[in-house]
Amino acid sequence: MKHTISVLVENKAGVLSRISGLFARRGFNIDSLAVGTTEDKNISRITLLVEGDDYIAEQVTKQLNKQIDVIKVRKLNQDEITRRELVLVKVKMSSAQRGEIIDIVKIMQGQIVDISHTTLTVELCDRPDKIDILIELLSHYNIIEVARTGIIALQKGAESV
């Protein structure tokens, strides 16, 4: 089972290393981790996707809370959040394949952000499952590189962490 955990931390040197070290030490499996600043420049938000049962999710939450630089930890309910991830995919193609790829990108509501004689770079910002579909579709061509940002998430409605 995957858990999405949103963590507000002090925006200081060494915080990320403390937190990633914690996961390695305690044997927690992190599927994705995204960090960025928030509306307050002194606070960063880390969004984590953790694989494990409820016991693991609880341990992750408690161990994070124990960190002095962690201000708030919230395990987000999967049904009550908006999740987004950004992906860039560089695909090698022949001129015959170009049209097919552009069709796929259109259907997936992505964009072509770079083009050369032999490659296309596709951008998509969407739910992680949609991104998986795009990558699967493009894998029938020659994918050269993929870059994913990791998931970020916020609660739906007026609620906040």
Partner 1 sequence: MITGADAIVRSLENEGVEIIFGYPGATVCPLYDKLSKSKIKHILVRHEQHAGHAASGYARIKQRPGVCMTTSGPGATNLITALGTAYMDSIPLVAITGQVSSDLLGRDVFQEADITGAAEPFTKYSYLVKCADDLPRIIKEAFHIASTGRPGPVLIDIPVNVQNQKLEYTTPGEVNLRGYKPTIKGHAGQIKRICKAINNSEKPLICAGGGIFAANAQKELKQFAEMINIPIVSTMMGIGAVPTDHPLYAGMLGMHGKNIANQAISESDLLILIGARVSDRAVLLPANVGNNTKIIHIDIDPAEIGKNLSTFIPVVGDANQILTQVMSAQTERKSDDWPGLLRSKKSKIKIDYNPRKFGINPKGFVNLLSGMLPNDHIYCADVGQNQIWSAANCQIRQGRFLTSGGMGTMGYSIPAAIGAKLADPDKTVVAVCGDGAFQMNMMELGTICQHNVDIKIVVMKNNKLGLVKEIQRNSYKDNEIAVDLTGSPDITAIAKAYGIPARSIDSMDVAEEAIAEMIRHKGTYLLVCTVDENESSM
Q: Using CB under 8 A as the criterion, which residues of the chain lie in contact with partner 1 when the complex forms?
A: 9-10, 13-14, 17-18, 21, 25, 55, 58-59, 62-63, 65-71
CA distance from start to end of the chain: 22
Q: Give backbone dihedrals phi and psi of 54, rounded to 5 degrees, phi first.
A: -65, -35
60 vs 151, which CB is nearer to partner 1?
Answer: 60
18 vs 83, which CB is nearer to partner 1?
Answer: 18
Provide, rounded to whole angstroms, the least separation between the CB of residue 78 and partner 1. 22
In the chain, DSSP assigns E strands to 2-10, 29-37, 43-51, 70-76, 81-92, 111-115, 119-126, 142-148, 152-155
Provide, rounded to whole angstroms, the least separation between the CB of residue 4 and partner 1. 20
Provide, rounded to whole angstroms, the least separation between the CB of residue 146 and partner 1. 31
24 vs 158, which CB is nearer to partner 1?
Answer: 24
Task: Check: CB of residue 143 under 8 Å from CB of residue 135.
Answer: yes
Provide, rounded to whole angstroms, the least separation between the CB of residue 46 and partner 1. 13
Side by side, which strands form the sheet with 43-51?
A: 29-37, 43-51, 2-10, 70-76
39 vs 55, which CB is nearer to partner 1?
Answer: 55
